[in-house]
């Protein structure tokens, strides 16, 4: 090319920004309903957890010595209340956040702090009302999304990874490029990459069903109607623990998801989830 490096010429090629359709109306609507439901379910769930902030395996878990995780409050050497997070035999001081936190300016025993729960004050019955109402809304919204995904081909077209995308070499390349905060450009940005597809499928087809089924298992009414649920998860206390673990993994997913949204372009990503339009850069057509 007359002494001009090809990569330099490609970088110098004129670019133009175009808006492409990325998310359908149904995907956008169900996404924002999920955001609302998940936020309220998380905070009301922490309120419920505060009634007994310990996790067990098995059917009853009545013996505190068997709890593998506990948010506890103890008296320190100076007589003050201290918060402790216990994982097995390991105890981690977490005063002010977990186990004991400020209530009206005074440190008191409390699994999760007021600001993390709904309602903020201690009220198990109110927390259960919020949780159950939005749990059913969450299930109905999820069912609508699944139905749309099957009928409109959204899962096959947008979420199912191809064989090439599942190749170990390709997956490793995507992990490395994401770790370096290098994101797809141009036509590649029109569709989800392999890591996105695997993450969304894992949430939609593994974590959320586990959340729903373990939640139903903790309901005495559902236990009577569907007794096999208790056996499926090895007991109500095991179901409660799996419910908490799945919720923690969902929070981790949301944190990583938000970090990627900010790193790859907050305004562009928000616009795509509000209007459905996503801006990409393409080369100007040659005259």
Strands 277-283 and 106-109: unpaired
What's residue 105's pLDDT? 83
Q: Is pLDDT at 61 greater than 80 in this prediction?
A: no
Rounded-to-integer distance, Cα 185 and Cα 168, Å? 22
Q: Which residues are bridge partners to 145 per DSSP? A: none
Do 212 and 139 touch, CB atoms closer than 8 A?
Answer: yes
What does the pLDDT look like over 185-230, one tens digit per residue? 877 777 888 888 999 999 999 999 999 999 999 888 887 888 888 8
Q: What is the pLDDT of residue 60?
A: 64
The closest of 150, 168, 170 to 159, measured between CA atoms, is 150
Mean pLDDT of the chain: 86
Residue 9: pLDDT band (50, 70, 90) is very low
Single pTM value for the model: 0.86
Q: Which domains does the chain have, with CATH numbers?
A: 6-61+115-283 (1.20.950.20), 62-111 (no CATH)
Closest C-alpha to 131, from 41, 215, 210:
41
The burial of 267, by beta-carbon neighbours within 10 Å (0-12 exposed, 13-18 middle, 19 or more buried), is given as: exposed
DSSP states along 273-287: HHTSEEEEEEEPPP-
68-72 average pLDDT score: 93
Distance of CA 52 to the CA centre of its chain: 23
């Amino acid at each position: 090319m007359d002494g001009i490096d090809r990569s330099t010429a490609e970088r110098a090629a004129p670019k133009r920004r175009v808006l492409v359709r990325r998310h359908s109306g149904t995907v956008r609507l169900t996404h924002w309903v999920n955001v609302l439901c998940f936020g309220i379910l998380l905070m009301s769930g922490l309120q419920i957890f505060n009634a007994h902030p310990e996790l067990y395996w098995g059917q009853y878990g009545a013996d505190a010595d068997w709890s593998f995780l506990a948010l506890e409050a103890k008296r320190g050497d100076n007589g003050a209340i201290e918060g402790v997070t216990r994982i097995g035999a390991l105890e981690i001081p977490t005063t002010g956040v977990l186990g004991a936190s400020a209530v009206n300016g005074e440190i008191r025993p409390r699994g999760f702090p007021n600001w993390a729960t709904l309602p903020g004050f201690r009220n198990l019955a109110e927390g259960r009302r919020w949780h159950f109402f939005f749990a059913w809304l969450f299930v109905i919204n999820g069912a609508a999304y699944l139905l749309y995904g099957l009928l409109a081909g959204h899962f096959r077209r947008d979420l199912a990874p191809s064989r090439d995308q599942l190749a170990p070499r390709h997956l490793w390349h995507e992990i490395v490029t994401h770790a370096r905060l290098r994101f797809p450009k141009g036509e590649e940005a029109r569709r989800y990459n392999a890591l996105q597809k695997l993450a969304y499928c894992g949430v939609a087809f593994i974590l959320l069903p586990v959340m729903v089924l373990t939640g139903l298992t903790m309901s005495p009414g559902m236990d009577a109607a569907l007794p096999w649920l208790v056996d499926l998860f090895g007991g109500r206390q095991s179901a409660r623990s799996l419910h908490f673990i799945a919720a923690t993994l969902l929070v981790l997913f949301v944190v990583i998801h938000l970090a990627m949204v900010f790193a790859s372009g907050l305004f562009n990503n928000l616009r795509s989830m509000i209007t459905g339009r996503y801006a990409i850069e393409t080369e100007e057509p040659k005259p």
